[in-house]
Amino acid sequence: METKGKLYLVPTPIGNMEDITLRALRILREADAILAEDTRTSGVLLKHYEIEKPLKSYHIHNEHKTVTDVVERLKRGETLALVSDAGTPAISDPGFLLVRECVAQGVDVECLPGATAFVPALVKSGLPCDKFVFEGFLPHKKGRQTRIKELAQETRTIVMYESPHRIVKALKQLAEFFGEDRQVSVSRELSKMFEETVNGTFAEVIANLEARDKVKGEIVVVIAGLETKKKSKERT
């Protein structure tokens, strides 16, 4: 009878090295091997916590070729841990394909709770977080404008990721359809020394960021839903 192993999804710190659970450290120590988006980045974390385990590269450029091999190892009874460069694996991350295949093949998958960028950004934005939609990254080109138009009608709070060198341009594109007076919150460098959140209308936040020489750090954008905007007008 075939012995099946288990795939553990292990969240890693998004900046501050202290943001990792004791259980995550135990699983990384006990796993037969660790699958990493970037072995150099993960190697720094493992060295910091004195964990010596085989590291295998698993990223967007090799995911399709690697999935079959990984699933076969799991079916043979190995325990593997999947980590991303930062945060929880499989969220806007190539780990999704591996998880999907494991589920389809009946291989056990366990996801540990832990660090992720969009949750603290959402909670600290001051915008309603009882209902929200996570958009991940918007399409770069094809379908981008269509998706923005659709999101402009969304009544729940919207959470998305954006790169620092595109953030001002992206906010301007969003403001065209959401309106410059829609409330938005932009968080960057979460959990790091220069963590910052800029809140206000689209017009105010764009002006704030445009006045800078350069915007640095991974960015989370949180936008008020259409219903929230209507309610705020009714209160005034």
The domain that holds 216 is classified in CATH as: 3.30.950.10
Tell me whether residue 1 is in a domain: no
Check residue 59 and give its pLDDT. Answer: 75
Name the phi and psi angles at 177, rounded to 5.
Answer: -105, -30
What letters, b where the CB count within 10 A reaches 16 and e where it falls short, cover 91-103?
bbbbbebbbebbe
Alpha-carbon dihedral 35, 38, 44, 50, rounded to 10 degrees? 10
State the residue range of the domain holding 171. Answer: 118-235
pLDDT, one tens digit per residue, over 33-57 is: 999 988 999 999 999 999 999 999 8
Rounded Cα distance between 60 and 143, Å, is 21
Q: What is the pTM of this model?
A: 0.88
Tell me whether residue 51 is in a domain: yes
Name the pLDDT band for 229 (thresholds 50, 70, 90): very low
Instruction: With H, G, I as helix, E, B as strand and everything else as coil, classify residue 77.
Output: coil
Tokens of 159: 């959470």
Tokens of 9: 């999804």
Tokens of 145: 């404008």
Rounded Cα distance between 9 and 27, Å, is 10
**134 has pLDDT over 60:** yes
Check residue 233 and give its pLDDT. Answer: 52
Check residue 2 and give its pLDDT. Answer: 56
107 & 122 share domain: no
> How many degrees, rounded to 5, is the angle at CA 137 between CA 132 and CA 138?
95
Tokens of 212: 């800078």
Task: Flag the least confident range among 7-11, 59-63, 81-85, 143-147.
Answer: 59-63
30 & 107 share domain: yes
Mean pLDDT, the chain, as a whole number?
Answer: 92
**228 has pLDDT over 50:** no
Check residue 3 and give its pLDDT. Answer: 65
Domain finish residue from 83, 111, 139: 111
131 & 65 share domain: no
